[in-house]
A and B are shown apart, each in its own frame.
Chain A
Amino acid sequence: MTALKKLTLTEPELVVALQSKDPAVLKTLYSMYSSALYGVISRIITHTELAEDVLQETFVKIWQSASHYDNTKGRLFTWMMNIARNLSIDKLRSKDFKNSLKNQDIENNVSFVDEQNKVTFNPDVMGVKQLVENLKPDLQSVLDLVYYKGFTHVEAAEKLNLPLGTVKTRIRLAIIELRRSFN
């Protein structure tokens, strides 16, 4: 119990506490991951209130379906991030969202998204942004759609009028670029 009051834990510790439904872990989880998840959500949903709602829903869902997480299938963060992305995309397509944003163009570009949110970056974030912006335009547009806009690769292919295989390859290349920059 006392160990869980720490604000950071290793991933295996987190998983054990989360799956034993220890409420204390939620605070730890929130302090460790809320900003990363909110970063993902708020890039998909520009409307601040709705993005906040989705962040809440994300943690509620993480809490409620913790037993479904299987660490053999991937990292905890990947699981949480996908919950956040799926809830964001659901919200984006809901009537709720369309009503609240009638006058706002969903096709707005990334820089508009960033203007809409007060973004707090880590010291080396500027480098990453730079990197994404320095990606070849064709890689960047795919990553924008899939990562920032919550498009599926099928939707992205339709949107960019490209074959599915090409979209997949470009997503892979973009992520390889990211991996290189981190190593």
Chain B
Amino acid sequence: MSVENLKAYIESGVLELYVLGDLSPEEALHVEEMASQYQEVRDELAAIEQAMEQYAFQNAVQPPADLESKLFEKLGITEEEEFETVAAPVINQEQPRIIRLDASDGKIRTLRYALVACVALLVVSTAALFITYNKLNDAHDQIASLNLDKQKFAGVVSQLEFENKGLDNMVAMNDSKEWATIRMAGQTFSPKSKMNVYWNKKDKSVLINYVAMDLPKADAEHEYQLWALVNGKPVSLGVFGKTDSTSNEALQKMQAIQEAQAFAVTLEPMGGSVNPTMEKLTVMGGV
């Protein structure tokens, strides 16, 4: 195109109409082709554009202040939040992605059901665990009480064994001719008490049987002492424990005595005394 023709083209006013968007698509395409070929056209277009832009800026009208927030709301962009978080609704407006979003929506629904199921399962599990815990506690209590019972029964059994042993001995001694049984009766200090002493005529040994005695319980600082009265004089045959002694042996061997007219028991301080405390004479019986 000649310089004259180019000038005429520029002066025709078509470039202004192009900038104002007032050309048909074909005419606009022609302008774009011209612009790609001729620097003069490009310069002219740029000058027109700048003029219109400046004109628009100098005739600017401030829109109402609330319009901006309304617009962002409409576009799904909230001003308070950071913009990164709101990219998704915008993508939403692009058609090809709608199907994909629907699919992921279904997935989200499935996940939501799964979440509900998990929560339900958690509640049921918690309840079951609670019930089981209570049952376990009950079981522990039962075991404890059974243990207590068992101990009690074991105690009873050992007591019975102890007594049975004592009774066996008593029977054996009664059958044997060697043993003399001296029955001692309660005295003023303890009228209800009674006790047996077994004295072997042959070797003169002395036995007492815890099963065959009924003495008041001695306190921690006292124990019983067995005496033999030999020609009016008391001879100590040793001390012995309380009636509920934990010793498994029902029988206790005391000191032997060659001769005696009577036997007696007094309550003495721990370790026994040299002479009997007569006020605390518990039981006594003659041979």
Which of A30, A36, A117, A121 gathers most chain B CB within 10 Å? Answer: A36
Which of A34, A63, A119, A182 interacts with B68 by CB under 8 Å?
A34
A85 part of interface (Cβ distance < 8 Å): yes
Residues of A in contact (CB 8 Å), total 58
> How far apart are the CA atoms of A171 and B48 in the complex, in Å?
11
Residue from B13, B47, B83 in contact with A22 in the complex, judged by beta carbons closer than 8 Å: B83
The 0/1 profile, CB within 8 Å of B marked 1, for residues 46-62 of chain A is 00000010011001100
Contact A38 B90 (CB under 8 A): no
Q: Which of A72-80, A92-100, A101-109 contacts B (4 or more CB under 8 A)?
A: A72-80
Asked if A172 contacts B58 (CB within 8 A), the reply is no
24 contacts between A and B (CB under 8 A): A1-B84, A21-B90, A22-B83, A23-B77, A23-B90, A27-B83, A30-B71, A35-B61, A36-B56, A75-B53, A81-B52, A81-B56, A82-B21, A120-B60, A121-B58, A121-B60, A122-B60, A128-B58, A172-B16, A175-B51, A179-B47, A179-B48, A182-B54, A182-B55
| B64 at the binding interface (Cβ < 8 Å) | yes
- Does A40 touch B at the CB level, under 8 Å? yes
Given contacts A146-B22, A172-B16, contact A52 B90 (CB under 8 A): no
Asked if B97 is at the interface (CB within 8 A of a chain A CB), the reply is: no
Residue of A23, A40, A43 contacting most chain B CB atoms (<10 Å):
A23
A24, CB-defined interface residue at 8 Å: yes
Please give the distance in Å from B50's CB to the nearest CB on chain A.
8
- CB interface residues, B 64-88, toward A, < 8 Å: 64, 67-68, 70-72, 74-75, 77, 79, 83-84, 86-87
Contacts of B87 in A (CB 8 A): 21, 23
Contacts of A52 in B (CB 8 A): 63-64, 67
Chain B interface category by residue count: 35 or more
Q: How far is the CA of A122 from the CA of B60 in the complex (A)?
A: 8
B71 touches A56 (CB 8 A): yes
Q: How far is the CB of B81 from chain A (nearest CB, A)?
A: 10
Contacts of B36 in A (CB 8 A): 72
Q: Which residues of A contact B16 (CB under 8 A)?
A: 168, 171-172, 175
Closest residue to B46 on the A side, CB-wise? A75
Contacting A at CB under 8 A, from B215-270, are none
If the complex has contacts A35-B60, A43-B59, are A172 and B11 also in contact, measured as CB distance less than 8 A?
A: yes
Q: Which residues of B contact A21 (CB under 8 A)?
A: 87, 90-91
Chain B residues with CB under 8 Å of A147's CB are: 20
| Residues of chain A with a CB closer than 8 A to B55's CB | 128, 178, 182
Q: Say yes or no: is A37 at the interface (Cβ < 8 Å to chain B).
A: yes
Q: Are B51 and A56 in contact (CB under 8 A)?
A: no
Q: Which of A134-161 contact B (CB under 8 A)?
A: 146-147, 152-153
* Chain A neighbourhood of B79, CB < 8 A: 27
- B71 proximity list for chain A (CB < 8 A): 30, 55-56, 59-60
Which A residues are CB-close (under 8 A) to B49?
74-75, 77-78
A15 in the interface (beta carbon within 8 A): no
B22 lies within 8 A of A153 (CB):
yes
B39 at the interface (CB under 8 A from A): no
Using Cβ atoms and an 8 Å threshold, which residues of chain A touch B93? 64
Q: Mark B82-104, 1 if CB is under 8 A from A, else 0.
A: 01101100110100000000000
B19 contacts the other chain (Cβ, under 8 Å)? yes
Is B32's beta carbon under 8 Å from chain A? yes
Report the minimum CB–CB distance from B16 to chain A (whole Å). Answer: 5
Residues on A with beta carbons closer than 8 Å to the beta carbon of B22? 146, 152-153
User: Does any Cβ of A come within 8 Å of B37's Cβ?
Assistant: no
Q: Is B19 a contact partner of A74 (Cβ separation < 8 A)?
A: yes
Q: Is B62 an interface residue (CB 8 A)?
A: yes
**Partner of A74 from B45, B47, B51 at Cβ < 8 Å:** B45
* Given contacts A168-B14, A171-B17, A172-B16, A26 and B61 within 8 Å (CB-CB): no
Known: A27-B79, A82-B20, A165-B13. 20 other contacts (CB 8 A): A21-B90, A23-B90, A26-B72, A26-B77, A30-B71, A35-B62, A38-B60, A39-B61, A64-B93, A74-B19, A75-B49, A77-B53, A78-B49, A85-B20, A121-B60, A172-B13, A172-B16, A179-B51, A182-B54, A182-B55
